[in-house]
Amino acid sequence: MKDTRLEKKQFGETPEGEKVYKYTLRNVDGMEVDIINYGGIISRWTSKDKDGNQGNIVLNFNDLRSYMEGGAFLGALIGRFANRISNSSFTLDKKKYELNKNESENHLHGGEKGFDKVVWNAATRIRMESASLILTYTSHHMEEGYPGNLDVKVTYTLKNDNALEVQYEASTDRPTIINLTQHSYFNLSADFSRDILDHELLLNAESYLPVNNELIPIGEYRAVKGTPFDFGKYRAIGDSIFNNDEQLLIGKGYDHCWILDTEKGDLELAASLYHWRSGRRLEVYTTEPSIQFYSGNLLSGYCTIDKKMIYGKRQGLCLETQHYPDSPNQPRFPSVRLDPGKDYCTKTIYKLSVV
């Protein structure tokens, strides 16, 4: 009899002697999601194609050392702040906080040791219709430069309808900022020798945030209509990525934040990704106000182990649901402030099907 299952295996050990485990969530359709409690990383995700064959649709490494050294935030939970903060600083209640610099003068994805590089506490839950992994972590006051002791809980739940729900929760003991996301690289072909340019993408957005040469938003909301950034209808990623467009040249492809056409806080469709060869479709629903679409432009420079390239340019893409980049320094953007007594709670659902 088929049922939901959850298995646990040791995946490795950090240099400090912390044991790392791999948790496999399995549903009645045979879909499996592997998650390691180092970085909350999704290290494998199988999905059927139109012929019924299971294939892994996320870029991954085979061992813990590779995740610790290989770069590119492959499959990881991102925090305290997803995306970039300009000049690695922000001001809160008239006090300036200096963050660790890890991308030139800027702060990216939580810094030198963000949530992608810590060992999370893990608990599991099995129900008839789902299997869940509950990860918790306390980020201490001034970790990477952020104020406040921040208690974080992220729950991955694989359901029998082939949806993976990611729920983010947090609380703090003093005012701080927060912006969490998931950084899996998808390739729905399940053939990582292929790039993602033949994937068709739909983004539920009428505007996006143009950036400067350091990929920091310039503060403008720019309409997508009539530009290479218009994915209002399904369109192949490769259709316009080589256009002589200033923003595409700056990003070396797509690495921008789209402003979602959704009601504030409602769980609505943000993006849909389709690969016609395999028949796989990935739908992304979120309560977040924006989504960062990154077309894997720099993978060949960051996914290296022992100086050997593991993945090449555009062999995977990210769809990162989040608040806007550099929000603490841009008054026009929605607030990312979290105060004591308030709860941070957002949800994103990735739903797979065959079309």
Q: How far is CA 260 from CA 1, 295, 327, 352, in A?
A: 42, 18, 16, 21
Distance, in Å, from the CA atom of 16 to the CA atom of 222, rounded to the nearest integer, reads 47
183 flagged as catalytic: yes
Contact 159, 148 (CB under 8 A): no
302 falls in which pLDDT band (50, 70, 90)?
Answer: confident
What tokens does 209 get?
């945030």
* Count of residues in the chain: 355
Catalytic residue among 183, 199, 256, 275: 183
What tokens does 68 get?
């610790």
Contact 213, 114 (CB under 8 A): no
Residues 6+ apart with CB under 8 A from 195: 296, 312, 313, 314, 315
Catalytic residue among 144, 165, 200, 320: 320
Pinpoint the alpha helices (H) of the chain. Answer: 64-69, 246-251, 299-302
What tokens does 59 get?
């870029």
- The 10s digit of each residue's pLDDT in 46-96 is 999 999 999 999 999 999 999 998 789 999 999 999 999 999 999 999 999
Distance, in Å, from the CA atom of 335 to the CA atom of 133, rounded to the nearest integer, reads 29
What is the percentage of the chain residues whose pLDDT exceeds 90? 93
What tokens does 322 get?
């989040």
Indicate yes or no: pTM above 0.75. yes
214 flagged as catalytic: no
146 falls in which pLDDT band (50, 70, 90)?
Answer: very high
- The 10s digit of each residue's pLDDT in 222-255 is 999 999 999 999 999 999 999 999 999 999 999 9
Distance, in Å, from the CA atom of 250 to the CA atom of 211, rounded to the nearest integer, reads 8
Distance, in Å, from the CA atom of 186 to the CA atom of 295, rounded to the nearest integer, reads 10
Q: What is the Cβ-side half-sphere exposure of residue 107, based on CA atoms within 13 angstroms? A: 27
Q: How far is CA 316 from CA 56, 59, 190, 311, in A?
A: 12, 7, 10, 8
- The 10s digit of each residue's pLDDT in 185-211 is 999 999 999 999 999 999 999 999 999
Distance, in Å, from the CA atom of 276 to the CA atom of 266, rounded to the nearest integer, reads 30
